[in-house]
Amino acid sequence: MFTKRLGLACAQVGQPQAQRRGGLKVAYDTRPASDPDGVGRYARCLLTALKETGAGCDELIEMQRPSSMLRSRHADVLHAPWMDGAMLHSPCALVVTLHDLNALKRRSEHLRTGMRKRLRHLAVQRALRVIVPTATVAGDAERHLGVERKRIVVIPHAADVAMHPRPAEEVAAVRARLKLPERYLVWVGSLQHPDPDKHLAELAATPRELPLVLVGATRPWAHELPDVILTGQVSDDQLAAIYSGAHALMLSSECEGFGLPAVEALACGTPVAACDSPALVEVLGERASFVPAGDMRALIAAAQTAARPAPAPPLWSWHDAARATWATYAQALAAVGEPRLATRTRRGRRAAGAAGIDGVEA
């Protein structure tokens, strides 16, 4: 299923890089690259792959403050690799990556959305191309942000090259360093803020036979979860060893934009048990054991009975993603001057003025 969708994704990005005429000067907003969570991994992995796949005539400029640097560098395209970097008044063609829109699906969250967040939504609506990791998120962008389907490009994420099965001695060394048990279940993600969609408190409280290891940067609330082992933030090599030594990975979230930990775990030879969610089914297909969303008992049972060898991960690399992204930049530049963009620009300026925001960033 995922391979077929990848073919569709590749078809959507237009001409291959080798057929582009002239070079592209792309400004890449690197601010999220230091984020320990999934957005940061995306920003880092894609940036590395873009450098390795660009044509000789292409130029990639790393920027920490596009609002102050962009005009002087005369870039053709600005890529904001997360929604918070979307610029309301970009002086060049804007490309934005949306990882998910789960918050907008919760009515309570939507009702308390502030003006600044609404302006970011407006900036995304005006972007010439919007990159999403799955067709599921593409549909969400259409429904919840009103982004035209022709401007949305599906470019899947991939496992980093560091994610591969690690030898037993390396797994044992990491297990000893982090004080992990010999057999365990693992969950990987952000532990900095409680997220009702992830059901972490319920997952921690559900009876199980194997210990549960939670991997990710934490804040105090996570240390109150019962009967779990917290590793904190770990390096990529340590994470690969943790995956390799785990009995199975669990994904407890009801809503995912892609589910990168699942692809990473499979790349390390580790089985995956997940709650049923459209994006995960799209990405993983029959590669994971799915249970009804919100059923933590079923999730733990599926994880504990998982058997190796795990299925191979999807055949898609960060180099594939980078080549598709370079083609998307070319599409965005070719779309400059569309009448619809001009209309949205005027709309955005009126909204910014009403909000009392004078800067170029939403």
The CATH class for the domain spanning 168-304 reads alpha beta
What would the pLDDT profile of 5-57 be if each residue is shown by its tens digit?
444 344 444 444 434 446 899 999 999 999 888 899 999 999 999 999 999 89
Q: Where are the alpha helices (DSSP H) in 13-134?
A: 38-53, 66-73, 102-105, 107-111, 115-126
* Residues recorded for the chain: 362
pLDDT of residue 206: 97
Mean pLDDT of 106-120: 66
Q: What is the pTM of this model?
A: 0.87
Q: How far apart are CA 243 and CA 187, in angstroms?
A: 9
Read off the pLDDT of residues 187-212 as tens digits, 9 standing for 90 and up.
999 998 888 889 999 999 999 999 99
**Residues 118-135: pLDDT tens digits?**
888 999 999 999 999 999
> Would residue 212 be called left, alpha or beta, if left means φ above 0 and alpha means ψ between -120 and 50 degrees?
beta
Local confidence band at 348 (pLDDT 50, 70, 90 cut-offs): very low
Q: Where are the beta strands (DSSP E) in 73-163?
A: 77-80, 93-97, 129-132, 152-154
Instruction: Tell me how far apart the alpha carbons of residues 118 and 271 are, in angstroms, rounded to a whole number.
Output: 39
Torsion of CA 115, 121, 127, 133, to 10 degrees: 150
317 burial via Cβ count (<10 Å: 0-12, 13-18, 19+): middle
* Delimiting residues of CATH 3.40.50.2000 domain(s) in the chain: 168-304
Q: Cα angle at 47 between 331 and 42, to 5 degrees?
A: 95
Quote the percentage of the chain above a pLDDT of 90.
Answer: 73
Q: What are the backbone angles phi and psi of residue 29, rounded to the nearest 5°?
A: -75, 110
The pLDDT of residue 352 is above 60: no
Residue among 128, 132, 133 at smallest CA distance from 148: 128
The third-level CATH classification (topology) of the domain covering 2-158+318-355 is Rossmann fold (3.40.50)
